[in-house]
């Protein structure tokens, strides 16, 4: 499964407004209001926040990947957002975060969920890719960056 198969342009926020981790997560989850793939939005939201309480998903280098598994979704869904002003996400490297990728999967889709988390992490580990995302101004531009990066990834993998 590819990232661009689950990430939609309509689920990308080029300029998140949240000033705290909880606000940013809620802003991304709210993109799924009235989305037919979501059975229960508040359950999805709670699953992401509960996972975040266990351990911060701020993985470092200005990037966070809040995620959860819950049966409140019908399939794996994703959203991405960028902050103009980095925020404290209690990241592992103690650096503020400006790039946030939300991934929520069904309880029984553990394999694809873990593979997607791994793929996203590998892509976001590349300095030039993160820098390009930080400079992108529109949802379409951000989506194309993911699409192009994923193509390079598959050509070299």
Cα 24 to Cα 19: distance, rounded to the nearest angstrom: 7
Domains and CATH numbers, the chain: 3-156 (3.40.930.10)
Predicted confidence (pLDDT) per residue in 53-71, tens digit:
998 899 999 999 999 999 9
Distances (CA, A) of 52 to 17, 110, 146: 20, 18, 24
Please identify which of the residues 11, 21, 67, 113 carries the catalytic annotation.
67
Residue 91, token pair as written in the block: 């990241």
State pTM to two decimals: 0.94
Interior/surface letters 22-40, b for 16+ CB within 10 angstroms, e for the rest: eebbebbbebbeeeeebee
Active site residue 49: no
Predicted confidence (pLDDT) per residue in 80-126, tens digit:
999 999 999 999 899 999 999 999 999 887 788 888 888 888 899 99
């Amino acid at each position: 499964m590819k990232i661009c198969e689950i990430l939609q342009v309509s689920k990308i926020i080029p300029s998140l407004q949240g000033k705290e981790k909880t606000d940013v997560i809620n802003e991304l989850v709210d993109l799924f209001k009235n989305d037919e793939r979501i059975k229960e939005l508040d359950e999805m939201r709670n699953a992401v926040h509960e996972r975040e309480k266990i351990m911060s998903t701020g993985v470092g280098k200005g990037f966070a990947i809040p995620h959860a598994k819950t049966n409140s979704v019908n399939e794996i869904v994703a959203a991405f957002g960028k902050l103009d002003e980095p925020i404290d996400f209690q990241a592992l490297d103690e650096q503020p975060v400006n790039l946030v990728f939300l991934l929520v999967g069904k309880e029984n889709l553990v394999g694809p969920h873990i593979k997607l988390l791994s793929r996203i992490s590998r892509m976001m580990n590349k300095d030039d890719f993160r820098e390009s995302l930080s400079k992108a101004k529109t949802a379409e531009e951000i989506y194309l960056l993911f699409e192009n990066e994923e193509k390079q990834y598959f050509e070299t993998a």
